[in-house]
Structure 1
Amino acid sequence: MRDGVQLAANVFLPSDSARFPVILVRTPYNKGDDLPPNYRFFVDHGYGMVVQDVRGRYESEGTFDSLTQEPGDGDDTLNWIARQPWSDGKIGMLGGSYVGIVQWKAAWLNNPHLKAIAPVVSGYDDYLDRFYSTGGAFQLGHRLLWMSENLQAPGFIPPDFASFVRTLPLRNADFAATGQRREIFQKALDHPGYDVFWRGASTRARLDQLRVPVFSVGGWYDSFVESDLAAFGALRRNSGVHRIVIGPWPHNMSIKFADVDFGRDAGAPIRRMQLEWFDQWLKSKDTPLMSQPPVRVFVMGVNRWRDEHEWPLARARMTSLYFAGKGKANTLNGDGALTAKPPRKAVPDRYEFDPRNPVPTSGGAVCCNPKVFPWGPMDQRPIERRPDVLVFTTPPLTSDLEVTGPVSVVLYASTSAPDTDFTAKLVDVFPTGEARNLTDGILRMRYRSSLEKSELARSGEVYKLTIDAGVTSNVFLKGHCVRLEISSSNFPRFDRNPNTGRPIADETVLRKASQTIYHDCEHPSRIVLPVIPN
């Protein structure tokens, strides 16, 4: 590398007698000695493969710092490969999760040898994807679980996941999970808003400069899916070459969950599509992939694949369903309803948020070990029986209703606390009563105006809030109901708000907050759905 640090890599070639286009894989998870079958596939089709341990991991020298090291190290590695006698100077990059993130970072510099990338379940912004959320809450479960499995001190045996996620103050949770202080965790806590620190590490801030063709793959139940789609939409405004596939998958791309099986058609020939992608850009072959529409999504509910020409879908009609009821929307047995028009008069709904007893995470787009932190679609009725969860539901639908795109919730709310959280979850209710989660989101009250500016609330004042509730593609079938859950926690997917207004990373005091949700003609609380005309 440019600073003298040496990174270890394995090189696999189709033969010893030619120069080849090369696919680079940069991993923090141990390159090992052998080439896995999914990479051997590319060698068998005429590509060299380079698999490298990133800086500070396994056989590579240096100190691991994922927020700063990858652009330069990726660029230096590309230049090294291009100089080798077995390389023809045309390089692609491949891989998922962190192995996808490093592709985005390498692409910042538009290295002339990097002809295409193929990130899988990766996202494109460290703040919004890996550490915080679009609403400013810390992605506690993801971060601590990843560190406990990958960055443990030698000989350290961590307590169970359910224990270390409750560590207070939050600043000590890295030690509880790994047996040592982790600088990356401390830096993230020092910068809870989207400031210059995060912009310096952001691919999102550099998308206009990026010239490398991107074929990305994501899943509706993966934590990076919203970011994957946002990156694609932004890139397509500059160039038409990019492609994306989104399936009904979690982070590991499996097609079966504990409670739900989307069927044998839920898979996709991703490896073949990636081969066509690299053949197009590294071998200058015309391939079927480039003659097809640039977007392929799996529509849940009807469980079918569909090709599209843009994202978000231009034909989507943003449709509001308004909160209604007589002030007793608590639990699934309450009177909360969703209607086509806002009620003229309505009694506000109230609940108490106790961070000592937060609403537990139940599936969804979480990461990264389902044995410890289950992901995907689950029956939400146990969650909906809690009195601190408001439940608003339509009558059974008289015809199918497709929702494909970004979902948002406009909430008129007040709180007794100087800072608190509000959550929203979209649910498909089956005639059997099963309540299947589709997508969700959270807003930290202090970031209601901007992630760049923290602003405390005044007790009892009504605020208009907008919650980014994620993205989905689902047909609510005839006889099903559309449901929305409103609460103030989703733990441990996100950290608990202690409701004190003080810096959360160092807080040890947890206080209850009284929450009020208003829904009348002057306060039209609603969920906004991207409805696709039949």
Structure 2
Amino acid sequence: MMLGRALTGMALLLAGASAGSLAGAQPQQAAPAAPQARYSYSQVMVPMRDGTRLQTVIRRPLDKQGPLPILLQRSPYGVPPASAVGRERSLEFMEPDGYILVHQNMRGRFESEGTFTMSMALQPQGAQGVDEATDAYDTIDWLVKNVPANNGRVGMMGVSYPGYAAAVALARPHPALKAVSPQAAWNDWWINDDLHRYGAMRLSYATDWLYPLQNNKQGESFETGAYDSYEWFLKLGPIENLDKRHFKGSVPQLTQMIEHPDYDSFWKGQHWTDRLGRSTVPTLHVAGFWDQEDPLGSWKIYEKMEADDPANNNMIVGGPWAHGSWRQAASDMGHFPIPGTSGTDFRRDIEAPFFRYWLHGKGPKPGFEAKMFQSGSWTWKSYRKWPAPGTTATALYLRADGSLSFEGAGDAGQCREFVSDPANPVPFRERPISPTYPSLEWRWWEAADQRFVENRPDVLSWTSAPLEKDLTVTGDVAATLMASTSGTDSDMVVKLIDVYPDNVEPTPSPAQMGNYGKSLNGYRLPIAMEVRRGRWLDDWSTAKPLVPNQVRAWDVPLRDHDHVFKAGHRIMVQVQSSWFPVIDRNPQKFVPNIYKAKSEDFVKATQRVCTGSKVTLPVIR
């Protein structure tokens, strides 16, 4: 599991030299020659202000002379081994410029001293304590003073946890920190990213991610022994059982989640972006529209920094990417092909020039604000601001006859309904569901064809007529359901889907029938999907029971997107009340702490979606 996490995170970014060793050797073949050494290798223990020493690897290119900038990655996933002295594949467009590559294990990970807490809380200004921002500051201070022949300029970059580690350094930036690229970073683990979706626990992913991070320093995975994760988590029962029966207090982050189900001071105190002031360090944010792990944080960090950016050095890039997939060519979304190589484009034409200018002082100054590889059109777009100006908030109504309409909501008081049964929750992807890592199914589940749930009685679908012309949606997408439940708590999951025509590709010949199901004909491509938990409709901080059968508004944020629904395609919206096991089951009977619900609290409920329900699209006319 940790291997998969590392490869989709920054270990892929700055440890590409050893990637070839992952392929199994073929019988009767000579072992491949060792890669030509392009970097020197040294390991040091860098002291922090409290005396804790952090394991740090320093690699310098052997073919570069003179002072070079430092490129720093801080991570809980390990440092490159001594054999990692060959080419850095993911940095192929940055390598010619030359960087001193530095990797550091965070506190308590591998050979670094101290305790790994996963806390994002930052010390008050003037306090003497330590946090991830002070550790970044102290590391940079030591590097510029002790690494020979550096030019005094430091950049930070990373994907996922290393992306957060790069971003949080901006809360206390060292004077030598001249450029930062947080990629798939996060800012709030209760609102979204990794652990929750608006307070609803990301059950299977949190289980598979947290255990190797906190149960042991070497990243050993948690094994359920079940072939189908859906079955294992269903038999688990209430979430409290995961800690009591299996983790037994060895994963503190999970224990804290169970004890803090609401958005209380424990979570609010870790909202580190509140400490960001005026943007002084040029920053290149990167986000994937199909990021299955950290979909929201980069947008929110960018938004916070944009509020005070007088030099216009705060930039964001987005694309049709899963978690970190821009570190590769990015020519597909699973078996869904993408024209072009947007990942290569990003690394060559955006990332490399960004660091070249700010750390080497070469080339033109990056002058864009936002660049998106727009899905649907599959082309690069540049915007002078984000969200893009010139859009019109346009309501797409869910009508009682199962159609979608821009013309109006339909007759008042009409509803569609379904029965939600916690004993038979809707799977979030096709079963059997494999463990999170290493799994291509997990990597691209948010782009998977949604036909697998269409005939379930607990999933409602609304579909538009074929579009007469292209519809471009650029910016923040949101849904509002006018809905009720017969229970006292409930979830509502909303999916916005691009329905491809049945004839978008030639029908496979008989000789190709094994690929029949892999064509794009009739593909239901999810563009935006999110869950909202009823207990927090009024207040994130205080859970309240719902009034049975009372129709009320459920606001469901669907994040930022840049997508073209092509002429001839249809738009579909699906609504369901479970998304298992990526989201924990709602018992549908209100209990003060949802993680401590009893088996008898899990009850069936009748859900109704009524007139006035809509998805609001930012349409460019």
Matched, 1:143 2:191: no
Three-state SS of the structure 2 residue aligned to 1:104 is helix
Say whether the 8 Å CA contact 1:399–1:479 is kept in structure 2.
yes
Counterpart Cα distance in 1 of 2:246 and 2:525: 31
- 1:39 shift after superposition: 5.1
- What residue in structure 1 maps to residue 50 of structure 2? 3
- What residue in structure 2 maps to residue 330 of structure 1? none
- What residue in structure 2 maps to residue 105 of structure 1? 168
Three-state SS of the structure 1 residue aligned to 2:256 is helix
Structure 1 residues 417 and 280, CA, compared in 2 at 3 Å: closer, same or farther? same
Three-state SS of the structure 2 residue aligned to 1:26 is strand
- What residue in structure 1 maps to residue 595 of structure 2? 505
Counterpart Cα distance in 1 of 2:446 and 2:418: 27
Matched, 1:159 2:225: yes
Q: Which moved more, 1:335-344 or 1:297-306?
A: 335-344
Counterpart Cα distance in 2 of 1:43 and 1:4: 34
Which residue type is aligned with residue 604 of structure 2?
A: K
Which residue type is aligned with residue 216 of structure 1?
A: H
* Residue of structure 1 aligned with 2:531, choices 426, 442, 446: 442
Q: Which moved more, 1:205-214 or 1:374-383?
A: 205-214
- 1:346 shift after superposition: 5.1
Deviations 1:50-74 (A, max 9, x none): 1111111112122211214422322
* Residue of structure 2 aligned with 1:359, choices 426, 441, 452: 426
User: Pairwise mapping of residues 106-125 of structure 1 onto structure 2 (< 5 A)?
Assistant: 106-125=169-188
Structure 1 residues 337 and 78, CA, compared in 2 at 3 Å: closer, same or farther? same
**Count of residues paired in the alignment:** 517
- What residue in structure 2 maps to residue 378 of structure 1? 448
Matched, 1:269 2:269: no
Matched, 1:168 2:237: yes
User: Pairwise mapping of residues 93-492 of structure 1 onto structure 2 (< 5 A)?
Assistant: 93-133=156-196, 135-148=198-211, 150-151=213-214, 157-160=223-226, 161-166=229-234, 167-173=236-242, 181-222=250-291, 223-239=293-309, 240-253=312-325, 254-272=330-348, 273-287=350-364, 290-291=366-367, 293-326=368-401, 335-345=402-412, 347-362=414-429, 369-371=438-440, 373=442, 374-432=444-502, 433-492=522-581
Say whether the 8 Å CA contact 1:152–1:177 is kept in structure 2.
no
- What residue in structure 1 maps to residue 21 of structure 2? none
Counterpart Cα distance in 1 of 2:619 and 2:73: 39
Structure 1 residues 479 and 185, CA, compared in 2 at 3 Å: closer, same or farther? same
Which residue type is aligned with residue 9 of structure 1?
A: T
- What residue in structure 1 maps to residue 146 of structure 2? 84
Counterpart Cα distance in 2 of 1:148 and 1:20: 39
Runs of at least 5 residues in structure 2 that lack an aligned partner in the other structure:
1-47, 121-130, 503-521
Structure 1 residues 431 and 270, CA, compared in 2 at 3 Å: closer, same or farther? closer
Q: Which moved more, 1:106-115 or 1:477-486?
A: 106-115
Say whether the 8 Å CA contact 1:103–1:119 is kept in structure 2.
yes
- 1:386 shift after superposition: 0.9
Matched, 1:24 2:24: no
What is the aligned-residue RMSD (CA, Å)? 2.6
Normalised to the residue count of structure 2, the TM-score between the two structures is 0.77
Say whether the 8 Å CA contact 1:131–1:138 is kept in structure 2.
no
Identity of aligned residues (%): 29
Say whether the 8 Å CA contact 1:11–1:49 is kept in structure 2.
yes
Say whether the 8 Å CA contact 1:428–1:483 is kept in structure 2.
yes
- 1:206 shift after superposition: 2.6
Counterpart Cα distance in 2 of 1:155 and 1:497: 27
- 1:192 shift after superposition: 2.5
- 1:532 shift after superposition: 1.2
Deviations 1:320-362 (A, max 9, x none): 0112124xxxxxxxx4443421113453111111122111113
Deviations 1:428-484 (A, max 9, x none): 112213221111111111111232232221112221121112332221111111111
Say whether the 8 Å CA contact 1:219–1:250 is kept in structure 2.
yes
Normalised to the residue count of structure 1, the TM-score between the two structures is 0.89
Counterpart Cα distance in 2 of 1:38 and 1:479: 38
Counterpart Cα distance in 2 of 1:96 and 1:155: 21
Counterpart Cα distance in 2 of 1:123 and 1:275: 23
- 1:90 shift after superposition: 2.1
Matched, 1:72 2:130: no
Deviations 1:212-268 (A, max 9, x none): 321011211004333322322332232111122111110131432333011224334
Say whether the 8 Å CA contact 1:125–1:202 is kept in structure 2.
yes
Three-state SS of the structure 2 residue aligned to 1:64 is coil
- 1:99 shift after superposition: 0.8
Counterpart Cα distance in 2 of 1:195 and 1:438: 31
Three-state SS of the structure 1 residue aligned to 2:337 is coil
Q: Which moved more, 1:304-313 or 1:170-179?
A: 170-179
- What residue in structure 1 maps to residue 127 of structure 2? none
Structure 1 residues 176 and 204, CA, compared in 2 at 3 Å: closer, same or farther? farther
- 1:416 shift after superposition: 1.7
Which residue type is aligned with residue 358 of structure 2?
A: W
Say whether the 8 Å CA contact 1:120–1:217 is kept in structure 2.
yes
Three-state SS of the structure 1 residue aligned to 2:445 is coil
Deviations 1:192-221 (A, max 9, x none): 233322232223323345533210112110
Say whether the 8 Å CA contact 1:43–1:49 is kept in structure 2.
no
Counterpart Cα distance in 1 of 2:565 and 2:480: 21
Three-state SS of the structure 2 residue aligned to 1:349 is strand
Which residue type is aligned with residue 540 of structure 2?
A: L
Say whether the 8 Å CA contact 1:158–1:178 is kept in structure 2.
no
- 1:19 shift after superposition: 4.0
Runs of at least 5 residues in structure 1 that lack an aligned partner in the other structure:
327-334
Say whether the 8 Å CA contact 1:349–1:518 is kept in structure 2.
yes
Which residue type is aligned with residue 495 of structure 1?
A: D
Q: Which moved more, 1:441-450 or 1:372-381?
A: 372-381
- What residue in structure 1 maps to residue 109 of structure 2? 57
Matched, 1:527 2:596: no
- What residue in structure 2 maps to residue 331 of structure 1? none
- What residue in structure 2 maps to residue 329 of structure 1? none
Deviations 1:38-95 (A, max 9, x none): 3586565232221111111112122211214422322221222132152443211011
Counterpart Cα distance in 2 of 1:40 and 1:316: 37
